Chain A
């Protein structure tokens, strides 16, 4: 009989004996094994086939076009002139206002996001699940809808306070979501260890929980900062001058567009710095997480006599962030008579919005497909650069992308100026990151070994793409397309600048009517926007479950 599975190695043997000492796979090691599998037969490192590489490079160049053209344009009248614009006291004033608003909103979002995350994840708050859904809902409210709601209720809010309020209430979920995820991921054994070493609940939270929460909260905070810096809708309705509003005004006011370009460059420099910072914290957060394995579920904290206060806090936040905008909208819908409602115009606008958003989502998804596949399947400097380039839109405020495309079209492609393709192109640049991320995640879900098996069964690379990779990734890609559709539909600043003369989307009409103070006339557009956006969101939710 040869050796049996259970036979121990006698101690009288040589030391080097890896047999049977390989890490034993437990029942929960499926993920680890999957990764190992990917490593064995993965295509990582191989040069992407031309059928992917050529369109991916085209998409990346397209995404970088605005950035490059912006730089050219800003320096057109010499670096001295650009510097004059940048160093102008007005610019410095804008910088102060933008940063001030950002700081206030980020601080408020951290307070709201972390407190709600802790209450919903770690305590015995009644209705915990419902609260966590409610806390993410504000993500669906465009900033200009929030601004519309507050302004229509209290026009005196216009200015810094109103802008900060509206922006905080729509963007705190960016902190809430990662903070809640991080809290769920922290091994309760660590907190138990701290308690057993003599720290009270508060000391444990401050010394053990909070430090682990920091990378997630910081990542969320930087997203909020990015959101605030590139926001145009809320600040313009609240008439609070920041870079985006100043760029818009400068573009509208004068035929000389160099000042607008120079301001855009400053804004882009700020957002790129933020994105770089965000990428760094994200990288570190990934390393900081240890052994997520099978941590025991957390024993929730009993709130005791604090319970009413906790409920009051959660209730207030969701009331002002979710119930209030919806309620205001309902009020204006009820108040408005059929005379103020231009139903034909509404239907026409909704149809135009639907069309342009569908075109934007289609083009974006098409461009994202090759980049996403390469990002998921190939490592190396080239693949990395391609992905980075596609993510440029992540750092570019909508108004700067629009400006860059206007400049470019006027100079090199005049027939496109103020035509639909330019607007659709702007959507593609802005939302390529959304679609690439979705495609990449969808492709990563499909084990690369399947592609190798298909190759060994006689398929060429493009056939593998068609028969294996794309069918497997299709649901995820479709979800990304739906998401892109929603963000295209809500887009305001680029649409304002690039829409063909006479065309309106729901967002631009809402903005115009609100800006003119006709809240009852604006309300139907807000309602239609929310309804149209709700359909893909609902489908997305169903797809996930």
Chain B
């Protein structure tokens, strides 16, 4: 019912380079999609066009069975039934919490408005806070009220613009999961814009990586991390180890880290870049049989794990290895490296696997 369907969206500011170049994206009803991209990739422009604050040059935006943007069509924002949750909440400072939440509830009677307001505040865990003024709330509470305000008029779509950016990292995880729960409870389709790959992977059902005004890949968080479409995406969504490799007849790649089994080796591709994640590399004894040797250059310890940087002969840049257990190596020491699991192979032109 509330499926968001975007096609061929194009936008440029003045005579400058286009910001969106025929962007296409479909978010199924009730899903939470993250639009992930570096600054300047066009994700904010996309959000503003969907919300109705910007006019697109070309393309269509459909929500359910309604066309919001199309040739000759530009529905004004107030008629789109799209809720927005801006950065830092942006609550109306002159209205108390209850009146903020009730702001979008027009055309209903007072009792119904009050009931809906209380329901929404309850949903975001702020029941009884209706009389507070926005400045009396913490940052996380303001963000929850902003969500309640956006959800109150039962929008078909909710747009969240880096809503957790302003929060302390300690607070962020809690607010994030509460927001997700509230969105699930209402069944609204939601699009979260962010430049933080962790936020995208941990919050969304679906992640669309935007690059140069197009969706470079749109997939589940797990697929995106494990099977990125190209090395750039691999590196953007997480730490990556990228190695030159040639394909053997048995479907393994020969790399500086030895033979790496390939996941679905693409037909006909004989050489390319092999992608591994740092947690796929394990440290072993230097003398183990069949192991590749390297020299530890740096160790960064994080508590729950550590990143060990190792230089390997035949590979010009050091590789990162994530170590979960207790640390046994120090910079300057020799170590062995073993690869666990399969790698992904990418063509040299950056073309997607297989």
Contacts and interface: CB of A to CB of B under 8 A. Distances in A.
Interface in A457-505: 457-460, 468, 471-472
Interface stretch (A11-19, A271-279, A288-296, A410-418): A11-19
Contacts of B322: 7
B90 A453 contact: yes
A89 interface: no
A14 B232 contact: yes
Contact of B166 (A2, A7, A33): A33
B241 interface: yes
A67 to B, nearest CB: 33
Contacts of A4: 198, 302, 304-305
If over half of A's interface residues share one DSSP class (helix, strand or loop), that class is named, otherwise mixed; here it is loop
Contact of B52 (A40, A455, A472): A455
Contact of A37 (B51, B76, B88, B309): B88
Contacts, number: 156
A1 interface: yes
A17 B305 contact: no
B175 to A, nearest CB: 15
Contact of A7 (B201, B240, B302): B302
Contacts of A11: 298, 309, 317-318, 320
Given A19-B236, A458-B78, A14 B231 contact: yes
Interface string A1-34: 1111111111111101111001001000000010
A194 interface: no
Interface in A420-464: 447, 449-450, 452-460
Interface stretch (B17-25, B79-87, B184-192): B79-87
Interface residues of A, number: 41
B93 A18 contact: no
B236 A3 contact: no
A439 B320 CA distance: 57
Contact of B196 (A9, A19, A455, A460): A19
A12 B324 CA distance: 19
Contacts of A455: 52-53, 76-78
A43 interface: yes
Contacts of B231: 14
A41 interface: yes
A362 to B, nearest CB: 23
A269 B309 CA distance: 71
B197 A12 contact: no
B307 interface: yes
Interface string A502-543: 000000000000000000000000000000000000000000
Given A18-B38, A19-B195, A7 B88 contact: no
Interface string B206-228: 00000000000000010001000
B87 A40 contact: yes
Interface in B276-293: 278-279
Contact of A450 (B92, B166, B304, B321): B92
Given A5-B169, A14-B231, A40-B161, A456 B320 contact: no
Most chain B beta-carbon neighbours within 10 Å: one of A17, A43, A456: A456
A404 to B, nearest CB: 39
B317 to A, nearest CB: 5
B202 interface: yes
Nearest to B172: A5
Interface residues of B, number: 67
A452 B278 contact: no
Contacts of A460: 76, 78
Most chain A beta-carbon neighbours within 10 Å: one of B44, B90, B201: B90
A304 B196 CA distance: 57
Nearest to A457: B104
A452 B50 CA distance: 13
A456 to B, nearest CB: 5
Contacts of B196: 19
Contact of A10 (B88, B166, B320): B320
A471 B76 contact: no
Contacts of B138: none
Contacts of A9: 239, 320
Nearest to A36: B87
A7 to B, nearest CB: 6
Contacts of B93: 472
A12 to B, nearest CB: 4
Interface string A292-334: 0000000000000000000000000000000000000000000
Contact of A1 (B52, B103, B106, B279): B279
Contacts of A459: 78
A16 B90 contact: no
Given A457-B103, A458-B153, A472-B93, A452 B77 contact: yes
Interface in B239-254: 239-242
A37 B90 contact: yes
A8 B278 CA distance: 11
Most chain B beta-carbon neighbours within 10 Å: one of A2, A33, A453: A453
B235 A13 contact: yes
Contact of B87 (A8, A17, A37, A456): A37
B319 interface: yes
A4 B309 CA distance: 17
Interface string B137-178: 000000000000110010000000100011001000000000
A245 B109 CA distance: 66
Contact of A13 (B53, B153, B239): B239
A28 to B, nearest CB: 14
A25 to B, nearest CB: 8
8 contacts: A11-B298, A12-B309, A12-B319, A16-B232, A17-B236, A19-B38, A41-B84, A447-B90
Given A7-B239, A33-B87, A456-B80, 17 more contacts: A1-B279, A3-B198, A6-B303, A10-B309, A11-B298, A13-B241, A14-B240, A18-B38, A18-B39, A37-B88, A37-B90, A450-B90, A453-B90, A456-B52, A456-B77, A457-B103, A472-B93
Interface of B: 38-39, 44, 48, 51-53, 76-80, 82-84, 86-88, 90, 92-94, 103-104, 106, 149-150, 153, 161, 165-166, 169, 195-198, 201-202, 221, 225, 231-232, 235-236, 238-242, 278-279, 298, 300, 302-305, 307, 309, 315, 317-322, 324
Interchain residue pairs A-B with the least CB separation, the first 8 = A10-B320, A457-B104, A18-B38, A12-B319, A455-B77, A14-B235, A449-B90, A6-B302
